[in-house]
A and B are shown apart, each in its own frame.
Chain A
Amino acid sequence: MSTFRALHRALMRAEARDLSTVVLLLVTPVILLVLLTAVLGLDDGSGSTNTLAAGTITMTVSFSALCSGVTHILAWRMNGVLGLMRTFPISNGALLTAQALTGLVLAAAQVGLLLIIVDLPTKGLDITSRSSAAIAPIVLGYFAFFMLGVLVANLTRSIATSAALAILVFALLLYGGAVIYPIDQLPSAWHTLAPFSPFYQFHESVSVSLSGVLDWSGLARSLAALAALAAVLFVAGRTALRWDTRSA
């Protein structure tokens, strides 16, 4: 068994045994989407549920990934796991990727459950074979936000500071990425800046994939931008990883 696979398996086991987190990750987005669908009455088959689902998926996956990046590094630093991992014959990048992949498995379960639960009662969700195009942006989006979380955890030393910074970064990207308001209603400078937010590209590509009318060139553009952002964040996260186990 390769070092990467063995580490991924050990991390997956740790993740799967953290039942409270698993339940929270799986249940929260479902409750959120079911409530929104019911309150907004989006069950007319007009595709509104798809739009709502795309927004919910973007929000929950990115938030889970960001939190995962922050909490894992901080927890590892505090309980000495980072000190152990430092001795492993594996590069910084491979170590972070192994944990990101572990979280991605949970995120996939999160999205799958979300789509199934929402589709069953409302029948408002229009899932076709083309919807599977959403898999690529979900993978890249998770990876990008996980690495962003790693960066946040390495910029700070205490849990409180990390949590505050993570929420601040998330809020800035959310607003900056024109996810809250339609981009047309925002100032013109926003049009230039928004594409640099991983949120914007993530939301765009998931929305396009689930919209029913798939614009392949638009999806390819968003995916390329998301991949570039993920690559930059990966290099930054890998470089910023501090191995010291002292924390405030």
Chain B
Amino acid sequence: MARCAAGHVPADNTKQPVGAHKGSVVNSLRTPALLMEGVSLRVKNRLLLSDFSLRVDKGTFHGLIGSNGSGKTSVMELAVGFRKPTTGRIEILGSAPTPRRPALLRRIGIAAQNPGFLPRSSVREHLLSIAEIFGSTVRDVDILLEALMLEDCVDTRVEEISVSERQRLAVASAVVHRPEILFLDEPTANLDHEARRNLVSLLRSSNIIGTTTLYTTRRLDEIETLCDEVTILDKPDTFAQPRRYFAAERAMPLPVFGGWR
């Protein structure tokens, strides 16, 4: 992952404003899909994030990479309004994510690390219900089931599917209503090579149709393949201090999944 080397990282980035990387002039003209400014998060006297800033422009695929406990999930939860920041400002699609707003949630897709599913539903029923709940067309359901290799378990109850299938179904549930912005928290953690490649291909396709994506991962190759921009979260001795911010070029062209248009 040479692309992640310090050459792309501003030399003194400790006080670097968000978006101050190459291409920042262009970026400053764009409307951000997600903006986090000076965000801190303290939970039970533990500082999980300190003065964190992030700008994700519309239509970009933004990677969030870091080790365990570096605060990736906290950033994701703050961005979608699952947590309230201790200090700082967050804006998603032009609105504050808290308090909870159903109209805003309709425009967002979220795949959590430990996903939940509608109880006692089959895989297909679950996905159809999610599409209906979001007021979306159900025509993408079969395409997604095929793209994520879930055809073999469409009639299986969600309680009985494997960990890998659960993870793929969670991603399908997050994208089935074609959200404007997509949050994916380590969606490939339990996938084998083929499933991972299919998922990455689908995500690439969704990005091509304009979905902004914030993607957390520990895999550098996915960052290389998918991301337009990357934020690295470090965890020094006491708390997360995410500062390094750089632009990466996509390395490897992937086939765009045909049905997802």
User: In the assembled complex, which residues on chain B have CB atoms less than 8 Å from the CB atom of A83?
Assistant: 112, 114-116
Question: How many A-B residue pairs lie within 8 Å, measured between CB atoms?
Answer: 82
Select one of A75, A91, A243 contacting B102, CB under 8 A: A91
- Write out the residue numbers on chain B whose beta carbons fall within 8 Å of the beta carbon of A11: 118
- With A6-B133, A89-B103, A243-B82 already in contact, the answer to whether A79 and B120 are too (CB < 8 A) is no
**B173 cross-chain contacts in A, Cβ below 8 A:** 84
Return the CB mask of A81-111 against B: 1 if under 8 Å, else 0: 1111111111110000000000000000000
Contact A84 B115 (CB under 8 A): yes
**Do A79 and B119 have beta carbons less than 8 Å apart?**
yes
Indicate if A128 sits at the interface (CB-CB under 8 A).
Answer: no
Are the CB atoms of A14 and B115 closer together than 8 Å? no
Interface of B (DSSP majority class): loop
Residues of chain A within 8 A (CB-CB) of B135 are: 1-3, 6, 89
Cβ–Cβ contact A10 & B105, under 8 A: no
- B100-A92 in contact (CB<8A): yes
Distance between Cα atoms of A87 and B121 in the complex (Å): 18
A90 touches B102 (CB 8 A): yes
Alpha-carbon distance between A11 and B125 when the two chains are bound, in angstroms: 12
Q: How far is the CB of A8 from chain B (nearest CB, A)?
A: 10
Find out whether the CB atom of B82 lies under 8 angstroms from the CB atom of A86: yes
B160 interface residue (CB < 8 Å to A): no
Considering only residues 37-83 of chain A, those with a C-beta below 8 Å from chain B are: 75-76, 79-83
Which of B100, B114, B129 is A80 in contact with, Cβ under 8 Å?
B114
Q: By the criterion CB–CB under 8 Å, are A13 and B120 in contact?
A: yes
A7 within 8 A of B: yes
How near does chain A come to B206, taking the closest CB pair, in angstroms? Answer: 17
Q: Are A80 and B103 in contact (CB under 8 A)?
A: no
Whether A89 contacts B105 by the Cβ 8 Å rule is: yes
B residues at A contact (CB < 8 Å)? 80, 82, 100, 102-103, 105-106, 108-110, 112, 114-121, 125, 129, 132-135, 173-174
List the 7 shortest-distance A-B pairs measured between CB atoms, nearest first: A80-B116, A6-B132, A89-B106, A84-B116, A10-B129, A17-B120, A89-B102
